Chains A and B, each alone.
Chain A
Amino acid sequence: MLTASPIPTGSPVARERIRVRGVVQGVGMRPFVFGLAERLGLAGEVRNDAEGVLIEAEGTSLDAFVAALREEAPPLARIAAVERMPLTPTGAAGFVIGASVAGRAATLVPADAATCGDCLDELFDPASRFHLYPFLNCTQCGPRYTITRRLPYDRPNTAMAGFPMCPACAAAYENPRDRRFHAEPVACPDCGPRLSHAIAEIATALQAGQIVALKGIGGFHLMCDATDEAAVAELRRRKRRDAKPFAVMVANAASLDLFAVPTAAHVALATRPARPIVLMPRRPDHDGLAASVAPNLAHVGLVLPYAPVHHLLFHALLGSPEDSGWRSAPQEIALVATSANPGGEPLVIDDADARRRLVGIADLIVTHDRPIVVRADDSVLAVIDGAPAFIRRARGAVPEPVDLGRDGPCVLALGAHLKTTVCVTRGREAFVSQHVGNLDTVETVTFYRETIDHLTSILDVRPDVVACDLHPDYRSTRLAETLGLPVVRVQHHAAHVAAIAAEHGIAGPVLGVALDGHGIGTTSGETDGAPSGNWGGELIAVDGARWTRLGHLAPLALPGGDRAAREPWRMAVAALAAIGRRHEAAARFPGIAIAGALAARIDTAPTTTSLGRLFDAAAGLLGLRTHQDHEGQAAMELEALVGTPRALVDGWTLANSVLDFAPLLAVLADIADRRDGAALFHGTLIDGITAWIVEAAQARGHRTIALGGGCLMNTVLAEGLAVALRANGLVPLLARNVPANDGGLSLGQASMARAAATRGFGTGAT
Chain B
Amino acid sequence: MTHGAGGRAMAQLIADIFAPALSNPYLAQGNDQAAMPLPAGAAGGTLVMTTDGYVVSPLFFPGGDIGSLAVHGTINDLAMSGATPLWLSASFIVEEGFPFADLDRIARSMGAAARDAGVPVVTGDTKVVERGKADGVFITTAGVGLVPAGLALSGDLARPGDAVLLSGSIGDHGVAIMSSRENLEFETAIVSDSAALHGLVVDMVNVAGPHLKLMRDPTRGGLAATLNEIAHQSGVGITIAEEAIPVKPEVAAACELLGLEPLNVANEGKLVAVVAAGGADALLGAMKAHPLGRDAAIIGHVTDDPNRFVQMTTSFGGGRIVDWLAGEQLPRIC
Give the interface of A toward B (CB within 8 A): 240-241, 342-345, 416-419, 439-442, 445-446, 471-475, 492, 516-520, 531, 534, 536, 558-566, 594, 597-598, 601, 604, 608, 612, 631, 710, 741-742
CA distance A604 to B184 in the complex (A): 11
Contact for B331 among A241, A442, A475, A561, CB less than 8 A: A561
Main secondary structure of the interface of B (DSSP, over half): loop
Chain A hits for B330, CB < 8 A: 471-473, 520, 531, 534, 561
Task: Tell whether, in the assembled complex, residue B316 and residue A473 are in contact, meaning their CB atoms are under 8 Å apart.
Answer: no
Task: Tell whether, in the assembled complex, residue B331 and residue A518 are in contact, meaning their CB atoms are under 8 Å apart.
Answer: yes
Chain A hits for B35, CB < 8 A: none
Cβ-closest chain B residue relative to A345: B318
Task: Tell whether, in the assembled complex, residue A472 and residue B327 are in contact, meaning their CB atoms are under 8 Å apart.
Answer: yes
Task: Tell whether, in the assembled complex, residue A710 and residue B320 are in contact, meaning their CB atoms are under 8 Å apart.
Answer: no
A-B contact count, CB below 8 Å? 101
Residue among A342, A473, A516 with max Cβ neighbours from chain B (10 Å): A473
B5 within 8 A of A: no
Task: Tell whether, in the assembled complex, residue A710 and residue B334 are in contact, meaning their CB atoms are under 8 Å apart.
Answer: yes
CA distance A741 to B319 in the complex (A): 25
Besides the known contacts A441-B320, A441-B321, 17 further A-B residue pairs in the complex with CB atoms under 8 A apart: A241-B316, A343-B318, A343-B319, A417-B332, A419-B334, A442-B307, A472-B330, A518-B334, A559-B259, A560-B256, A560-B258, A560-B259, A561-B329, A597-B257, A601-B184, A601-B257, A741-B334
Q: A564-B259, A594-B253, A594-B256 are in contact. Are A612 and B334 (CB under 8 A)?
A: yes
CA distance A206 to B311 in the complex (A): 36
CA distance A741 to B333 in the complex (A): 12
Please give the distance in Å from B319's CB to the nearest CB on chain A: 6
Chain A hits for B332, CB < 8 A: 417-418, 471, 473-474, 518, 562
Q: A442-B319, A597-B185 are in contact. Are A558 and B309 (CB under 8 A)?
A: no
Chain A hits for B257, CB < 8 A: 560, 594, 597-598, 601
B326 within 8 A of A: yes
Chain B hits for A519, CB < 8 A: 334
Chain B hits for A604, CB < 8 A: 182
Listed from nearest, the 4 A-B pairs whose CB atoms lie closest are A560-B259, A343-B318, A472-B326, A565-B333
Chain A hits for B334, CB < 8 A: 416-419, 492, 516-519, 536, 612, 631, 710, 741-742
A selection of 15 A-B contacts at a CB cut-off of 8 Å is A240-B316, A419-B334, A472-B330, A473-B323, A473-B330, A516-B334, A518-B331, A518-B334, A531-B330, A559-B259, A562-B259, A563-B259, A564-B259, A566-B333, A598-B257
Please give the distance in Å from A617's CB to the nearest CB on chain B: 15
Task: Tell whether, in the assembled complex, residue A601 and residue B333 are in contact, meaning their CB atoms are under 8 Å apart.
Answer: no
Cβ-closest chain B residue relative to A593: B253
Task: Tell whether, in the assembled complex, residue B333 and residue A562 are in contact, meaning their CB atoms are under 8 Å apart.
Answer: yes
Chain A hits for B317, CB < 8 A: 240, 343
Contact with A along B288-327 (1 / 0, CB 8 A): 0000000000000000000101010000111111010111
Please give the distance in Å from B128's CB to the nearest CB on chain A: 32
CA distance A440 to B259 in the complex (A): 18
Chain B hits for A345, CB < 8 A: 318
Please give the distance in Å from B175's CB to the nearest CB on chain A: 14
Chain B hits for A417, CB < 8 A: 332, 334
Cβ-closest chain B residue relative to A442: B309
CA distance A563 to B330 in the complex (A): 11
Task: Tell whether, in the assembled complex, residue B185 and residue A344 are in contact, meaning their CB atoms are under 8 Å apart.
Answer: no
Chain B hits for A601, CB < 8 A: 182, 184, 257
CA distance A754 to B327 in the complex (A): 29
Cβ-closest chain A residue relative to B181: A604
Task: Tell whether, in the assembled complex, residue A440 and residue B320 are in contact, meaning their CB atoms are under 8 Å apart.
Answer: yes
CA distance A561 to B309 in the complex (A): 24
Chain A hits for B253, CB < 8 A: 594
Please give the distance in Å from B259's CB to the nearest CB on chain A: 3
Chain B hits for A631, CB < 8 A: 333-334
Cβ-closest chain A residue relative to B186: A597
Task: Tell whether, in the assembled complex, residue B256 and residue A563 are in contact, meaning their CB atoms are under 8 Å apart.
Answer: yes
Please give the distance in Å from A402's CB to the nearest CB on chain B: 21
Contact for A442 among B184, B321, B325, B333, CB less than 8 A: B321
Contact for B333 among A240, A518, A531, CB less than 8 A: A518
Please give the distance in Å from A651's CB to the nearest CB on chain B: 26
Chain A hits for B256, CB < 8 A: 560, 563, 594
Q: A517-B333, A517-B334, A561-B329 are in contact. Are A475 and B318 (CB under 8 A)?
A: no
Task: Tell whether, in the assembled complex, residue B184 and residue A475 are in contact, meaning their CB atoms are under 8 Å apart.
Answer: no
Chain B hits for A558, CB < 8 A: 331
Cβ-closest chain B residue relative to A598: B257
Chain B hits for A517, CB < 8 A: 333-334
Cβ-closest chain A residue relative to B330: A473
CA distance A519 to B330 in the complex (A): 10
Chain B hits for A710, CB < 8 A: 334
Chain B hits for A474, CB < 8 A: 332
Cβ-closest chain B residue relative to A519: B334
CA distance A518 to B257 in the complex (A): 20
Please give the distance in Å from A447's CB to the nearest CB on chain B: 13
Task: Tell whether, in the assembled complex, residue B259 and residue A561 are in contact, meaning their CB atoms are under 8 Å apart.
Answer: yes
Task: Tell whether, in the assembled complex, residue B326 and residue A473 are in contact, meaning their CB atoms are under 8 Å apart.
Answer: yes
CA distance A561 to B258 in the complex (A): 8
Cβ-closest chain B residue relative to A570: B259
Contact for A473 among B182, B311, B320, B325, CB less than 8 A: B325
Chain B hits for A562, CB < 8 A: 259, 331-333
Please give the distance in Å from A197's CB to the nearest CB on chain B: 27
CA distance A561 to B255 in the complex (A): 11
Cβ-closest chain A residue relative to B311: A442
Chain B hits for A344, CB < 8 A: 318
CA distance A446 to B184 in the complex (A): 41
CA distance A608 to B330 in the complex (A): 12
Chain B hits for A342, CB < 8 A: 318
Cβ-closest chain B residue relative to A240: B316
Cβ-closest chain A residue relative to B305: A442
Please give the distance in Å from A532's CB to the nearest CB on chain B: 11
Residue among A342, A417, A441 with max Cβ neighbours from chain B (10 Å): A441
Cβ-closest chain B residue relative to A443: B319
Cβ-closest chain A residue relative to B178: A604
Cβ-closest chain B residue relative to A516: B334
CA distance A308 to B257 in the complex (A): 53
Please give the distance in Å from A301's CB to the nearest CB on chain B: 21
Chain A hits for B321, CB < 8 A: 439-442, 445, 475
Chain A hits for B327, CB < 8 A: 472
Chain B hits for A594, CB < 8 A: 253, 256-257
Cβ-closest chain B residue relative to A417: B332
Chain B hits for A565, CB < 8 A: 331, 333
Residue among B184, B320, B331, B333 with max Cβ neighbours from chain A (10 Å): B331
Chain B hits for A442, CB < 8 A: 307, 309, 311, 319, 321
CA distance A531 to B326 in the complex (A): 12
Chain B hits for A445, CB < 8 A: 307, 309, 321
Cβ-closest chain A residue relative to B253: A594
Chain A hits for B184, CB < 8 A: 597, 601
Task: Tell whether, in the assembled complex, residue A534 and residue B331 are in contact, meaning their CB atoms are under 8 Å apart.
Answer: yes
Contact with A along B14-50 (1 / 0, CB 8 A): 0000000000000000000000000000000000000
Residue among A241, A558, A601 with max Cβ neighbours from chain B (10 Å): A601
Residue among B258, B309, B327, B333 with max Cβ neighbours from chain A (10 Å): B333
Chain A hits for B311, CB < 8 A: 441-442
